Amino acid sequence: DGGITQSPKYLFRKEGQNVTLSCEQNLNHDAMYWYRQDPGQGLRLIYYSQIVNDFQKGDIAEGYSVSREKKESFPLTVTSAQKNPTAFYLCASSITGRSNQPQHFGDGTRLSIL
Amino acid sequence: AQSVAQPEDQVNVAEGNPLTVKCTYSVSGNPYLFWYVQYPNRGLQFLLKYITGDNLVKGSYGFEAEFNKSQTSFHLKKPSALVSDSALYFCAVSFLTGGGNKLTFGTGTQLKVEL
């Protein structure tokens, strides 16, 4: 079955450490997205990518970085500059250029501080 | 700027009763509207969307939504609620940018269906 796989499901970060969250999709979608979910705040967009080797900042990009070297992969790095990284992180994908198409979501990674 | 409001943090209904989860939006031009559901520690699942045409949209698991342009609303409904419908529901509006399809989400409404 086609879908989006996020790993790991749970991740712990030490002070000053960078951590990378994995997102892989086999839906053949061009666009991929990273969201951060905090209780009572809905989902906020961190970064998004329309095509390979191209990505744009979302609403809360500070302290995060991404790469898009392959169509199916869009890893997110939470850097030590992100002072409040504890959250639930969701990856999504969609058909590019078609805003009438739904985004498909992975099952998330929960990041906590040690 | 696009925005979505879900005025109720929580909605409680009895099983078998009809349910409504409210959503209002603000967007320039014609909106593309979506409803998603989230179960604990899971990602979001797509329920239904409004693009154009009939104001009553039918979706997955018996859910439907009514688009009202004059009231800028897109309320989610179900004629008979199930305990298994208990989850977090998000309304979202889509708009197209040079970088692709972007969604703006509401803050979510927790639905609790009780026996």
pLDDT per residue as tens digits for the range B40-84:
989 999 999 998 888 999 999 999 999 999 999 999 999 999 999
- Across chain B, mean pLDDT equals 92
- Which tops the pLDDT comparison, B106 or A2? B106
Measured distance CA(A35)–CA(A54) in Å, rounded: 17
Spatial CB neighbours of B113, under 8 Å, sequence gap ≥ 6: B12, B13, B14, B15, B19, B81, B82, B83, B84, B85, B86
Residue A97: pLDDT band by 50, 70, 90 thresholds?
low
User: Which residues of chain A are within 8 Å of residue B51 when distances are taken between CB atoms?
Assistant: 100
Specify the 3-state DSSP secondary structure of B84.
helix
* Percent of chain B clearing pLDDT 90 (strictly above): 78
* For range A41-68, the mean pLDDT: 94
CB B34 within 8 A of CB B67: no
Q: For an interface test with B, which of A48, A52, A99 has the most B Cβ atoms less than 10 Å from its Cβ?
A: A99
CB B63 within 8 A of CB B35: yes
Structure tokens at B11: 């909605």
SS percent in chain A: helix, strand, coil, step 5: 0, 45, 55
Query: Which among A4, A50, A104 has CB closest to B100?
Result: A50
User: Which residues of chain A are within 8 Å of residue B102 when distances are taken between CB atoms?
Assistant: 45, 48, 58, 99
* For range A20-49, the mean pLDDT: 94
Specify the 3-state DSSP secondary structure of B60.
helix
Specify the 3-state DSSP secondary structure of A90.
strand
- Which tops the pLDDT comparison, B33 or B29? B33
Specify the 3-state DSSP secondary structure of B62.
helix
Residue B98 has pLDDT above 60, yes or no: no
Pairing of strands A10-13, A104-105: unpaired
Closest chain B CA to residue A31? B100
pLDDT at A16: 86
